[in-house]
Amino acid sequence: MKEAIAAYQEAIQHKPDYADALSNLGLAYSSLRQYPPAIESLQQAVRLRPSSAAAHYILGYVYSSAGRQKQAIQSYKQAIILKPDLAEAHSNLALLYLQRGERALALEQYGLLKLMNYEMAEKLFALIYKDKILDAGR
């Protein structure tokens, strides 16, 4: 992965406004759990290409991985504004809401997700109601 980071950095040196290279650099740093440089690279990619749902989604993913839930939620919401049928953003947003104890907001995302990707929605539904299913089995 270090070779990939070096290659993306070199590409960015030659073309500083190369948003895709910045996004990929952020993902590479993230895979090594180096979240500050990952976030910095992805924020720069978003600044260069604010209309990219993918860039906002990836930034949300890295924020979430870094434990920055509030920023992750905002990034996922922006990705959804730009691409309302981005099922993964709806799913990840719902999971963050669940982590925060906001089941009603998670269910709202489930309702939207069910129209886009039924299988993904059903997995989410099971997570939303996991404690209720466990209680019923006792």
Q: What is the pTM of this model?
A: 0.88
* Structure confidence by residue, pLDDT tens digits, 34-76: 999 999 999 999 999 999 999 999 999 999 999 999 999 999 9
* Structure confidence by residue, pLDDT tens digits, 58-67: 999 999 999 9
pLDDT at 115 over 60: yes
Burial state string for 79-94 with b = 16 or more CB within 10 A and e = fewer than 16:
bbebbeebbbbbbbbb
Q: Measured between alpha carbons, how far is 17 from 120 in angstroms, rounded to an integer?
A: 35
Sorting pLDDT into bands at 50, 70 and 90, what band is 2? confident
Distances (CA, A) of 38 to 45, 118, 125: 11, 32, 31
pLDDT at 137 over 50: no
Cα radius of gyration (the chain):
17
Write down all domains in the chain, each with its CATH number in brackets.
Answer: 2-136 (1.25.40.10)
Burial environment of residue 2 by CB neighbours within 10 A (0 to 12, 13 to 18, 19 or more): exposed
